[in-house]
């Protein structure tokens, strides 16, 4: 394997980076271990929060530069790329603002006996983060932000196609005043990652990525009794039961499917529409998806850039072709131009089709017609995934009723693109385990030490 920046819009290899040596890897682990032993234990929560606040400020100050890096690494349109940097800054700022309350002692009311008891939260040690290419800054922020506040130190293995953004983030942490070893970027191979997980000095692993990667990492971590947080794939349902503004609902549906070039684990991918709205929705949705224009991701106003790599484009094209061969209808789109893939709609996807159970990581929507609320919920839950979901209805009681029944870690009602630094993110089933963001993101890799005083 090799770390390289290959512009997916042009196919040009811009730069390559050497994989870390074995000596370098051991030095990185040692540095993170020493930083935890000294720096994290000699600083207060407020002092660590001040450093994280500076990380937020540097993201904001360097937003354009950082955005341009990931445009050439993974093809995100520049406005979305800068927006991602700004969201990452907001996450760091959230943890800086709330650090002391998130880590405050928690009193326990004793059932009997005199004295008192409390829970005191403290760090575990060096943690390994394995990050994906689709949101290079945001994914790191939601892992590194809370854990550095806690006092853990970070070994960060980024995706092979994101070495430039990985280096830029490490530079930000150093420029913000974090000591050497608090945040260490490692260009590690898969074999070397197994070495890191097995190392007794490393106390936990967080991975965002594919099911396959998550299963492999969890297996290794399990052998070595390491805590893991897994944020994996999704095939999120978008359930339309009623609407008083179909145009606005369609606009939300398109955004939910093509944002980030359709490459988001919690994007809406299966559009489940009650039969009285199916035809009008499909007509308007088709027109809107066909109007999504592909363009140079480096230029302002581009709505749809290339997929992240030739491999990604090959995989998506093969999935669509296989779906059609197994009975699905290519309703619109389905055109490939280099690494670009047009906004696409599949209908008539049956339970016997591979597409019914797969995640499509690109701008491909599946649209289903159902009889009623009951059928919509059944279809929404008929998936191995359970990350996010979307419910559109004018009936508030129905919204909460359906939200209760959906098997997913997140439900968004009448809104898309509404993630926030304060909102926990995570899934169930094959979408992973654990939570990031909000207060729950600061409660995963922490020692909740019980102190009982007589």
Q: Which residues are catalytic?
A: 231, 265
The answer for residues whose C-beta is within 8 angstroms of residue 314's C-beta and 6 or more apart is: none
- Nearest-Å Rg of the Cα atoms of the chain is 23
Compute CA 48 distance to the chain's CA centroid, rounded to the nearest angstrom: 25
Helix or strand holding residue 385 (H, E): strand 385-386
- Give CA separation, 49 vs 31, 144, 268, 280, 339, in Å: 21, 12, 35, 51, 41
Instruction: Give yes or no for a contact between 188 and 182, defined as CB atoms under 8 angstroms apart.
Output: no
- What whole-number distance in Å separates Cα of residue 149 and Cα of residue 155? 15
- What whole-number distance in Å separates Cα of residue 448 and Cα of residue 445? 9
- Give CA separation, 441 vs 177, 229, 310, 361, 379, in Å: 23, 10, 34, 25, 30
Helix or strand holding residue 121 (H, E): strand 116-122
> Which residue in 311, 388, 317, 383 sits closest to 353, CA to CA?
383
């Amino acid at each position: 394997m090799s770390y390289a920046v290959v512009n997916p819009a042009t196919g040009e290899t811009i730069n390559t980076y050497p994989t870390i040596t074995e000596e370098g890897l051991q030095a990185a682990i040692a540095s993170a271990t020493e930083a935890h032993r000294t720096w994290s234990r000699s600083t207060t929560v407020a002092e660590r929060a001040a450093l994280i606040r500076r990380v937020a400020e540097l993201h904001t100050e360097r937003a354009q530069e950082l955005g341009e890096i990931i445009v050439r690494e993974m093809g995100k349109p520049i406005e979305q790329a800068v927006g991602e940097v700004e969201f990452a800054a907001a996450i760091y700022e959230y943890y800086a603002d709330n650090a002391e309350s998130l880590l405050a002692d928690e009193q326990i009311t004793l059932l009997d006996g005199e004295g008192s008891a409390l829970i005191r939260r403290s760090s575990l040690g060096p943690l390994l983060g394995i990050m994906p290419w689709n949101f290079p800054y945001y994914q790191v922020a939601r892992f590194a932000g809370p854990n550095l506040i806690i006092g853990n130190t970070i070994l960060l293995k980024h995706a092979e196609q994101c070495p430039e953004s990985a280096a830029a983030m490490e530079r930000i942490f150093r420029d913000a005043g974090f000591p050497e070893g608090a945040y260490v970027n490692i260009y590690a191979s898969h074999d070397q990652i197994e070495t890191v997980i097995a190392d007794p000095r490393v106390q936990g692993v967080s991975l965002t990525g594919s099911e396959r990667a998550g299963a492999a990492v969890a297996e290794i971590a399990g052998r070595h009794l390491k805590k893991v947080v897994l944020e994996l794939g999704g095939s999120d349902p978008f359930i339309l039961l009623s609407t008083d503004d179909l145009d606005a609902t369609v606009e939300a549906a398109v955004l939910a499917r093509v944002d980030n070039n359709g490459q988001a684990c919690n994007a809406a991918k299966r559009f489940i529409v009650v039969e009285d709205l199916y035809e009008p929705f499909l007509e308007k949705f088709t027109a809107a998806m066909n109007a999504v224009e592909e363009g140079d991701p480096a230029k302002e106003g581009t709505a749809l850039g290339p997929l992240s790599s030739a491999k990604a484009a090959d995989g998506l094209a093969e999935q669509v072709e296989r779906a059609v061969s197994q009975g699905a209808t290519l309703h619109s789109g389905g055109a490939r131009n280099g690494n670009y893939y047009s906004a696409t709609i599949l209908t008539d996807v049956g339970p016997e089709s591979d597409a019914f159970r797969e995640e499509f990581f690109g701008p491909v929507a599946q649209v289903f017609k159902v009889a009623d609320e009951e059928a919509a919920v059944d279809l929404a839950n008929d998936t191995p995934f359970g990350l996010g979901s979307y419910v559109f209805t004018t009936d508030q009681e129905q919204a909460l009723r359906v939200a209760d029944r959906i098997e997913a870690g997140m439900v968004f009602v009448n809104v898309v693109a509404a993630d926030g630094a304060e909102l926990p993110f995570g899934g169930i089933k094959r979408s992973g385990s654990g939570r990031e963001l909000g207060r729950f993101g600061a409660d995963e890799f922490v020692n909740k030490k019980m102190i009982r005083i007589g």
